[in-house]
Amino acid sequence: MRTPTDDSVFETHLPLQGRRQGKVRDVYDLPPDSNGPRLLLVASDRISAFDVVMPTPIPGKGRLLTSIASGWFELLRKQNLVKDHVLSTELPAISGIDESLRHSLQSRTMTCRAAHVVPIECVARGYLAGSGWAEYQTSGTVCGVKLPPGLQQCDRLPTPIFSPATKAVEGHDENISFERAGEIVGADLMRRLRELTLNIYSIAAQYALERGVILADTKFEFGFALDRNGSTTNELMLVDEVLTPDSSRYWPLANFEPGRDQPSFDKQFLRNWLLKLVQSGSWDKTPPGPEVPSEIVAGTVARYEEALQKLFGK
């Protein structure tokens, strides 16, 4: 824990096996159940932008992220489109941790079925933003898909587009064509992932829109469950986090106006502050990230809170 004065969690060192760290989550092995191996995903208060983890925690972000992802997992489960990896959002018994550590872990964990993760990020885009907007300006396409001329920044796309990316072990994920993704993991699997991604996106985007929120784009990860011997089965699951402000662009519908950048409920607020540093030459998007000032921390927390409130009324 980085800041002793509050209950924010920058990183964890739990007495569990197999600790590994993503940019935001700490992942541990839990003892297997009768179906197979399990993982504990701990959402820390780390925030990353441009694939660089900032040194400043965003207090409470891990809890907000876990609440949002759980809300979506619950909602999607009812749709019966695909299985998911969530077993529980209750903090499991972990021997050897004290009450204060237990308290700080509360509401930031997910016990999941371990998967062999498909090494392709499945992105659905319903609006012209980010790298999609950049590509459209130079070539009139988004992820190779030809679009009508004259679209403006943040315009709604005629139909949502599936755009796969590689899951880079180090550095930035890279957009790739659908064909290339098929070469890496198999064309049949990619067709299935494309259909699932677009179906989940359209259900989620509709749900969000009814609550005054535009889901501009989002990213899913899928994986195959492991069996008791740790071998890969053919049981496909939705894994990782889903539809959080870390993995999605969320815009308030009330302020939506194509032709400019949108105010957002996600990391864009932090990114915009960072971009000013880049423009002034004080940061070059490489680690270490700069300390984030308190007003940007507070503004970021407020945006994640608003997203949870609007989407799930919490």
CB of 119 to ligand ATP, least distance (A): 9
Sole residue written with tokens 């032709």: 259
- The Cα–Cα gap between 239 and 297 comes to 28
Nearer CB in complex with ligand ATP: 23/180: 23
SS (H, E, C) 114-179: CEEECCEEEEEEEECCHHHHHHHHHHCEECCEECCCCCCCCCEEEEEEEEEEECCCCCCCEECCHH
Of 290, 306, 296, 294, the residue nearest 3 (C-alpha): 294
The residues with which 115 forms a beta bridge, in sequence order, are 225
- The Cα–Cα gap between 314 and 308 comes to 6
CB of 35 to ligand ATP, least distance (A): 12
Nearer CB in complex with ligand ATP: 214/221: 221
CB of 16 to ligand ATP, least distance (A): 14
CB of 281 to ligand ATP, least distance (A): 27
Per CB under 6 A, residues contacting ligand ATP are 22-25, 27, 39, 85, 112-115, 117, 167, 221, 223, 239-240
Q: Which residue is nearest to ligand ATP (CB)?
A: 22
Nearer CB in complex with ligand ATP: 115/143: 115
Nearer CB in complex with ligand ATP: 85/194: 85
Nearer CB in complex with ligand ATP: 61/85: 85
Q: How many CA atoms lie within 13 A of 300 on its CB side?
A: 30
CB of 121 to ligand ATP, least distance (A): 8
